[in-house]
Amino acid sequence: MPKITLIEFSGQDHTIDAEAGKSLMQNAIDNGVPGIDADCGGACACGTCHCFVSEDWLAATGEADAMEEAMLGMRPDRADNSRLACQIEVSDELDGLVVNLPEFQM
Amino acid sequence: MNQAIELPDPNSIPLEQIDVSDGRIYQQDAWRPFFARLREEAPVHYCADSAFGPFWSVTRFEDIVAVDTNHEVFSSEPAIVIGDMTEEMEVEMFIAMDPPKHDVQRRAAQPVVAPQNLAQMESLIRSRVCAILDNLPVGETFNWVDEVSINLTTQMLATLFDFPFEERSKLTYWSDVAAGSPEIAGGDVDQEERIPALMECLETFNRIWHERKGRDEGFDLITLLQRDPHTADLPDRPMEFLGNLMLLIVGGNDTTRNSITGGVLALNQNPAEYDKLRSDHGLIPGMVSEIIRWQTPLMHMRRTAKQDVELRGQQIKQGDKVVMWYLSGNRDESAIENADDFIIDRANPRHHVSFGFGIHRCMGNRLGEMQLRILWEEIMRRFSFVEVVGEPERVRSNFVRGYTNLPVKLHAL
C-alpha cells in the first residue's frame, strides 16, 4: 500500500496507507483526514478537495484537465502546484507522495 | 395563469402535460409528487408548452451534476432562470456569463467571500444576531419571517458592506426589485420602478466607494474590492460594478432569509431532530448543511444548449432551455439516502446540490453557512423551543423557494 502524507494548514501531518485505484480525495476521507470537504463526492464539480502537490511529485501526479483547471481557477489561493485531490488516482508509483492542504476550502 | 385554477394531479395526467414551471406548485408546497414522477419516469423531461415556452427539466442528482459541469455545451447566457428577461439595462452579472468573461469577473469577486475574510466579520455579525434575538418577545405569537429572517438578513447585508446602518432597508429593497420581476420570481415589480431603483443603488455605492477610498482598515466587501488590483477601478465600469453589487446583494438575501425560516419549520416538523439538537449543539454545522439541502432556497438554474446534445436518451436541440431542478436533485434517493427526511446528523451533509456545481457554484456558500451557524448557536443559547403555531405562507415562484409568513412562539430556556 502506498504511503501518502497530507499536511494540514496548521502543520499537522497525517501519513496514511492509501489504497491504489482510489482517488487521493477518497483515501483522505476514508482515513478521516480533516481539511478536505469533497462536497460533490469526486465529480470534479465543487473544488472543495483542493490541495498543493509537493514539487517533487508534480510529474508523477500528472496534469489537471480543462474542467479541473476551470474549478481551480476559481480558488483565490490557487498556486502552480494546485490540484483537486479527487482527480489524482493513487497508484503504487505515488508511494511517498506529500501534499499540503489549504487554509480553507470553498 | 389563473390563480383560481386548481393544480392538476401529477400522477393522473399524461407525462407530457406536466409543467413544473407553474409557481403555484411551490406556493402550495405540492411539488413532491411532480418531481417524484419525473425522476422515476422521465428524468430528462420535455415540457412543450408553458408560460415560459418549451423547456427541458433535469431532475436527477447525477444528471444535474453532468449539466452543471458541462458549460461548453450548456450555456449560462442569456439567462439562468426559466423566463427570458427583457433586459433594458445591460447589467453585467457573471452568474449569467460563460468563460472567459465569467472567470475574470468571478475571480475578482471571489476573495471577498473567502473564509479568512469572513472570520474577520464573525464577531460583528454575532453581536447583531444577539441584539435581534434579545429583543424578541417570549411567549407571544409573531411572524418569524419579518422579525428574524428579513431583519437579520438585512442587518447582515449592511454589516457585510459596512453600509450606513440606518439606511439598510434600501439594500433589501434593491434586492427585491432586482430579483422580483415577474419573469424571475413571479413578483410584480415593473420596469418603471426597477430602473430608477437600480440607478439609485449604483449612485449610492459610488458615493460610498469614494468616501471609503484610502481607508486602511476594514473587512467589508467594498474595502476588499478596493484593495484587490483587479477590482480597484470597478466604478469606472458602472454596469460591471452594478452587476457585482447586485449579485452580492441578491445572492445573500433571499437564499439566507428563506433558509433561516426553513430551518425553524423543518425542526418543528421533525421533533426528534429538534431533541437531538437540544442535547448536542455540536450538531449545528452539519445541521446547517442539512437545512440548506432540505430548503433548497433556489429551486432551479437554467442553461441553454449551445449545440444538439443527447442526455439520458433525449435529443436536446441547440437553443433549447435546460432547467436543472436542484429541489428535485436534493430529493433523489439514488444520490442521498432517505432524501425526503430531515436528518441533522447525516453522515455526509455537504453532499447536496443547493449550491450548484461547476464553475457557477455558489460563491457565497461559506458566508451563508456561517450566518446560519451563528444564528442557531445563539438561538440555542436563549430558547428551548421556537414553536411554529400556524401554517406557513409561501412565495409564488418557480425560482425562489420562500416564505412570507411563519407564525411562531418562543419558549425561554
Residue scoring higher pLDDT (B45 or B221): B45
State the Cα–Cα distance between residues A36 and A90, nearest whole angstrom. 16
pLDDT in tens, B294-321: 999 999 999 999 999 999 999 999 999 9
Whether B69 has its CB under 8 Å from any CB of chain A: the answer is: yes
The pLDDT, as a whole number, for residue B229 is: 82
Name the one residue in this structure whose C-alpha cell is 472543495: A48
Domain presence at residue B10: no
Domain presence at residue A70: yes
pLDDT in tens, A81-103: 999 999 999 999 999 999 999 99
Which residues, in sequence order, are bridge partners of residue B387?
A: B409
Is the pLDDT score of A39 beyond 50? yes
The pLDDT, as a whole number, for residue B183 is: 55
Q: Which residues of B touch A45 (CB under 8 A)?
A: 65, 68-69, 357-358, 361
Q: Which residues of B touch A34 (CB under 8 A)?
A: none
Domain limits for position B307:
15-412
- Do residues B346 and B290 lie in contact, with contact meaning Cβ atoms separated by under 8 Å? yes
State the Cα–Cα distance between residues B271 and B151, nearest whole angstrom. 26
Radius of gyration of chain B (CA): 21
Domain presence at residue A105: no
- How is residue B78 written as a grid cell? 442569456
List CB contacts of B43: < 8 A, sequence separation 6 or more. Answer: B58, B59, B60, B63, B312
Domain presence at residue B5: no
Domain presence at residue B7: no
Q: pLDDT confidence of B1, banded at 50, 70, 90?
A: very low
Is the pLDDT score of B202 beyond 80? yes
DSSP 3-state assignment of A50?
strand
State the Cα–Cα distance between residues A10 and A4, nearest whole angstrom. 18
Residue scoring higher pLDDT (B84 or B295): B295
pLDDT in tens, B51-63: 999 999 999 999 9
**Are A40 and B65 within 8 A, CB to CB?**
yes
List CB contacts of B192: < 8 A, sequence separation 6 or more. Answer: none
- How is residue B138 written as a grid cell? 417570549
Domain presence at residue B2: no
Count of domains for chain A: 1
- Do residues A48 and A105 lie in contact, with contact meaning Cβ atoms separated by under 8 Å? yes
Domain presence at residue B8: no
Count of domains for chain B: 1
Minimum distance, in Å, between the CA of residue B348 and any CA atom of chain A: 8
Is the pLDDT score of B186 beyond 70? no
* Mean pLDDT (chain B, rounded): 91
Q: pLDDT confidence of A58, banded at 50, 70, 90?
A: very high
What is the CA B241 to chain-centroid distance, rounded? Answer: 21
**Are A39 and B355 within 8 A, CB to CB?**
yes
Whether B337 has its CB under 8 Å from any CB of chain A: the answer is: no
Whether B230 has its CB under 8 Å from any CB of chain A: the answer is: no
Residue of B nearest to A40 (CA): B351
Q: Which residues of A touch B111 (CB under 8 A)?
A: 76
Domain limits for position A83:
3-100
Burial A80-104 (b: 16+ CB within 10 A, else e): eebbbbbbbebeeebeebbbbbbeb
Is the pLDDT score of B166 beyond 90? yes
Phi, psi of B322 (to 5 degrees): -125, 115
**Are A74 and B69 within 8 A, CB to CB?**
no
**Are B103 and A70 within 8 A, CB to CB?**
yes
The shortest CB-CB distance from B358 to any of A37, A45, A103 is to A45
H helical segments located in B306-364: 326-329
Cα Dmax for chain A:
34
Domain presence at residue A106: no
- Do residues B195 and B203 lie in contact, with contact meaning Cβ atoms separated by under 8 Å? no
State the Cα–Cα distance between residues B157 and B237, nearest whole angstrom. 23
Q: Which residues of B touch A104 (CB under 8 A)?
A: 114-116, 366
Which residues, in sequence order, are bridge partners of residue A4?
A: A16
Phi, psi of B27 (to 5 degrees): -60, -35
- How is residue A55 written as a grid cell? 514539487
Q: How many CA atoms lie within 13 A of B196 on its CB side?
A: 4
State the Cα–Cα distance between residues A103 and B215, nearest whole angstrom. 27
Complex prediction ipTM? 0.93
Q: Which residues of A touch B348 (CB under 8 A)?
A: 41
**Are B116 and A103 within 8 A, CB to CB?**
yes
- Do residues B29 and B17 lie in contact, with contact meaning Cβ atoms separated by under 8 Å? no
Mutate to test the interface with A, among B118, B350, B352 (most CBs of A within 10 A): B350
CATH number at residue A62: 3.10.20.30
Domain presence at residue B159: yes
Mutate to test the interface with B, among A46, A68, A84 (most CBs of B within 10 A): A46
Q: Which residues of A touch B65 (CB under 8 A)?
A: 40, 43, 45
List CB contacts of B294: < 8 A, sequence separation 6 or more. Answer: B262, B266, B330, B342
The pLDDT, as a whole number, for residue B178 is: 77
CATH number at residue B38: 1.10.630.10
The shortest CB-CB distance from A74 to any of B65, B107, B350 is to B107
Nearest to B295 by CA among B342, B248, B338, B251: B342
**Are B114 and A76 within 8 A, CB to CB?**
yes
